[in-house]
Chain A
Amino acid sequence: MSERADDLRVDPDHDPRGLTRGPAVTFTFEGESVDAFTGESIAAALLARGVRTLRTTRIAGAPRGLLCGIGACYDCLVTIEGPERARAVRACVTPVTDGLVVREHDLDHRLAPGDGIVT
């Protein structure tokens, strides 16, 4: 349910399916706490709260967000912190979990342009 006027989740008054969302979870994006619901993708939960920029591109540093929504375009990459290492995932097909630590995808930027390594 949307409790804020700017929440993009479908609200009960305009919800043809009459959804009850899954249990509430909290994750972080770029250090900020984000409330979400079990079953939502990272992209959906972020977009619901107005976060559209998920990464910046390797060469131009241009902001990118969700495009295809079905896992085909790989534009919606975000970085998830894991116990051993960070990894890149597609935000639109990755479900939120409680305590997930998410950042704008930056694994490309660990390689400087022109140093000869092709990712």
Chain B
Amino acid sequence: MRARPSSTASHVNRSSELGEETLGDHSWSAFFERYFSDVRTPNTGQEEGVNGDTGVVEKSNIEGTSPTKPSTHVLEFPERPEDFRRRDFRSFHPIQEWEGYVTDIFDQTFRARIVDLTAGGTVEKEEVDLPIADLTNEQREILAPGRVFRWAIGYLRSMAGTKTRHSKIVFRQLPQWTERELAEADEEARRMSADLTRNIADE
């Protein structure tokens, strides 16, 4: 049996970085047990999570498999049953988007240079002061000069049809510098320095 997690797994689904956003959640344990009689989730008392990107059940305890051998079954799921969808489904429709980076932090605000993505901009031609109070606690902890973020203004729509104007700031979860990258960069720098000064040594 092959199964694939539906697009509305237990994580936020984004068709773009800040585009359509569906906030959904469901119980995988109940879903497994209702639809797949040969699948039992571990009796850990915790929700089984699925790595939404790969669809691989990370800690498999599917009956019939060896409990000591890690399983890499890829499960494909049929269309999500109606009664597993949350009723307070919301989506965000951006009207204006910027990408920016923090330049200064003050008591109440932080300053940023921003690129107007909606206008097709490629250079930071504008600057803005934004209230720190609008950030979450987690965002305030990572607020620092150089941090890159996306900022969108648009409408939040509910399933019931109500529309609310909304502003959203998301700090980009850029990757970390890896050991390989730093080593490569340092080697490139040594070669560049040697190229830029070779005649001085020769003289």
Q: Check if A and B associate.
A: no
Residues of B within 8 A of A (CB): none
